[in-house]
Amino acid sequence: MGRKILFITTDQQRYDTLGCNGGTVARTPVADRLAREGIRYERAVPQSVVCMPSRSTIITGQAPSTHGVWMNGVPLPADAPSVAQVLKDAGYKTALIGKPHFEPFLDPFAAFAENRFAGGEPVNGHRGFDHFLAATHGAAGPLAYSRFILTEHPEFAGGFYPVLDGTLEVNAMGGGETGMPQLWNNPIPKELYHTDWCADQAISWLDSLDKDDDFFLWLSFPDPHHPQDVPNSELGRINWRDLDLPAAYPTNRTQREAILDGKPKHWRMWYDGTLVSNYEAPASWVPSTLTEDQIREFTAYNAIACELIDEAIGRVFAALSARGIEDDVDIIFSTDHGDLGGDFGLAFKGPYHVDGLMRLPLIWKPAKNANVAPSVVAAPVGLVDLAPTFCQIAGIAAPSWMEGKSLPVSEADAEARNFERVLTEWDSELFGVAMHLRTITRDNWVLTAYLPGTTSDGTDGELYNLSEDPNQFTNLWSDPSVAAMKADLLDDLWAHQPKQVTPLRPLVAPV
């Protein structure tokens, strides 16, 4: 019997939504305890700030350039490398419960396996998983959670926010008390909401195992990704009117817009509504219309979603205890990317490599028999490091196709194993708009170089000193006083680029 692995991901969760990371809105005692008893990472960075590329990095242990899912809507090939397959081959029982999104959701041709399993097609070890129960942000579509709602509780199917509008663009319709886009009052009972459903399914699957079975369970909550449509019954937890605005939201409009003007021009163009560079934010929404109360209400709903997840994982932990296996399980908690959450007057996500999207919650509590002391790691680590970590937990060598290395268990371990830099990519080419960014996070600096695209001639970029400017207000790209640091980071960035799969795989859906 080896170490069992419970891998918990959320979707689009900011670093500062956990109490252990300094968050003050959501109460997250379960995650906070996990952090106290395990390893908390202070600079975990995704390799992409949108779902499909980032999730593909998690499962392959490869950068987006290597696995080839270069933007949302590009499917990860069914035969792509998978850490779940590696673990299954080593004797692990494997399951994915919740949001997969390695393949596009918008799929009228039922071309992608993820969208067919709930209809009865056998899973047959797809991507290495024995068990595959999928959910996403509502009751629409062919996934297992949608079928559960539509068949067993159809009266609640219409209560979710319609993520897409009638033209299949991300919906800009507002709700709540402030008219915040993608925010909605949902009458569904808490116990039927996808957060609790995912936890229930995870507990059921754990109950189906023998006590000695080694397992890899990827429990993948769809929240707190937009839409913000948590059950109405939970809205009393947080009064949005009581909340402070985010630290990275200058309340003075002139100051806010000056900050945006110091960044590459697509920032301000999106803010003003003159360019929507990517699919993932509402196409007809103009961020400059975002009000302080809308940010507060978004923050409250988002925090409630985080609290519900925290309580749900507490139930899963209790199930591990009830089975008497809690000491044998490694638990890793993270997310795929963050959310702008009102920072700079922006929300949702896009080609913006700043902390709202790039600084992620990551906690690893090793199994008790691993004898790893609790610690905090400040060195930068990436989601690309998760797959090799799972291999290390399982006591098997990481395959050569994995590009990361197993997570450090302490700051000293990070230093000894050269956790110096993390790279992040953005590529998108959609409806005539092309954006290409390459980013390095190192030594408490973040540098983003822009490749030629719709708004860039390939000479602009961003450079932030995270120690002195934690909100990334001041772009130092053109500041001669830091030219040497910029040159060094650029050299490092280009020297460590992952291998690029060419030609680019085709985009076959919006998302």
Which residues bind to another protein, rule: CB under 8 A?
A: 73, 104, 106-111, 115, 142, 166-169, 431, 506-510
Write out the E strands in 23-112. Answer: 39-41, 44-45, 93-98
Task: Write the CA distances from 218 to 61, 235, 386, 387, 461, integer angstroms.
Answer: 15, 28, 12, 12, 36
Smallest CA-to-CA distance from 44 within 375, 331, 358 is with 358
- Cis? peptide before 470, omega within 30° of 0: no
d(CA 263, CA 267): 7
Shortest Cβ 504–another protein spacing (Å):
13
Give whichever of 235 and 283 is closer to another protein, judged by the CB atom: 283
Give whichever of 204 and 274 is closer to another protein, judged by the CB atom: 274
Shortest Cβ 113–another protein spacing (Å):
12
Give whichever of 110 and 487 is closer to another protein, judged by the CB atom: 110
Shortest Cβ 168–another protein spacing (Å):
4
Say which residue the tokens 């399993």 belong to.
117
| Residue 373 burial (CB count, 10 A) | 9
Give whichever of 73 and 351 is closer to another protein, judged by the CB atom: 73
Cα dihedral across residues 108, 109, 112, 118: positive or negative:
positive
Residue 411 CB burial class (10 angstroms; 0-12, 13-18, ≥19): middle
Shortest Cβ 451–another protein spacing (Å):
23
H or E stretch covering 266? helix 266-272
Give whichever of 498 and 510 is closer to another protein, judged by the CB atom: 510
Give whichever of 21 and 146 is closer to another protein, judged by the CB atom: 146
Shortest Cβ 318–another protein spacing (Å):
39
Give whichever of 431 and 494 is closer to another protein, judged by the CB atom: 431
Task: Write the CA distances from 402 to 62, 81, 502, integer angstroms.
Answer: 6, 9, 18
Shortest Cβ 150–another protein spacing (Å):
12
- Cis? peptide before 227, omega within 30° of 0: yes
Give whichever of 490 and 508 is closer to another protein, judged by the CB atom: 508
Helix (H, G, I), strand (E, B) or coil at 498: coil
Shortest Cβ 507–another protein spacing (Å):
7
SS (H, E, C) 133-186: EECCCCCCCCCHHHHHHHHHCHHHHHHCCCCECCCCCECCCEECCCCEECECCE
Shortest Cβ 467–another protein spacing (Å):
42
